[in-house]
Amino acid sequence: MASNFSNTTARASTAGAVRSRIVGVGSALPTRCVSNQELALELARKGVETSDEWIVARTGIEQRWLAEPDVSSSMLGTQAAQAALRSAGVAADDIDLVICATSTPDFIFPSTACLIQKALGITGGAAFDVQAVCSGFVYALATADGLIRSGVARRALVIGAEVFSRILDWNDRSTCVLFGDGAGAVVLTAAQKPGILASRLHSDGRHEHILRAAGNVCGGAVKGHPFLTMDGQAVFKLAVNVLNDVARETVEAAGLTINDVNWLIPHQANVRILTATARKLGIAPERVVSTVAQHANTSAASVPLALSVAVEDGRVKSGDLVLMEGVGGGFTWAASLVRM
């Protein structure tokens, strides 16, 4: 099947078909880093018991970065986008598409993408948000790839940005220790040589109840429960199965095998999910990029944050085959296979 893919690529290139490639990466974190020990002390003042040992044993998380009250998703997204533009050597004026994946937008509207576009001084071109929770960045990447391949755009900023700390119940130990804030971004550009080889997106709304933030603003008041709720066991079981399935589906769609993958970058939800997914796929732990210990779960920001870290520390190199996948509330799941 690999030879068929190569032949298809060669024909597409000869015919002048447009594909898309990642040419720059960037990330941004708030200034406040909170260790498990610090968090345990803060929660103790509220009467909530936890400890560094308890958190690490169940999640692998050692710390998280929390936004100050005046820091928004658009601010973090703008910083990550600026870093990605520097990495790519591309001017903001050259961007004609901005897609931001977020579940914690600054406003109901305008979109966070429009606010980032404004902050970067970009005028014209499309800007919009994608809401697929922790799968959001992969959904956004696939969307940008499709728009570039169709000729609608030539150069895109794809961003995942979250301030999940704003929707946490800090009296709920089962959820408040899991999440952090941050942003990651990539610059995607039209190219003859394919970078995004295949993407597959899925959802199943029957599972919406196992992970959600069901509150909404109605008549000037919050209606419903305003904080994130989660059935951890149900999420774990579903996540491991769908991440395995979508990874295999995506790699097969590209005419390749799991053994061809150099790096797996899964959504950084929980070290147990990362470990179980890699084991099920037969991918060695040293080929899995894991930043959950340093960042906690940053939802749509987690995959681009992890990609940025791995590129900047030299693990992910030009030519490497990277499998990125996400899973989140909705229930949504998705994967993209990318040649860097």
Catalytic residue numbers read 134, 267, 297
Tell me the two tokens of residue 225. 């429960």
- Measure CA 117 to chain center: 19
| CA separation for the pair 155, 1 (Å, rounded) | 30
Secondary structure letter of residue 288 according to DSSP: B
Secondary structure of the chain: what % helix, strand, coil (to 5)?
45, 25, 30
Amino acid at site 257 = T
- Integer Cα distance of 238 and 242 in angstroms: 6
Query: Of 330, 326, 329, 331, which is closest to residue 158 (Cα–Cα)?
Result: 326
**Length of the chain counted residue by residue:** 340
Q: What are the backbone dihedrals phi and psi of residue 298, each rounded to the nearest 5 degrees, phi first?
A: -105, 25
Judging by beta carbons within 10 Å of its beta carbon (0-12, 13-18, 19+), is residue 179 exposed, middle or buried? buried
Tokens of 269: 């939800």
User: How far apart are alpha carbons 182 and 301 in whole angstroms?
Assistant: 6
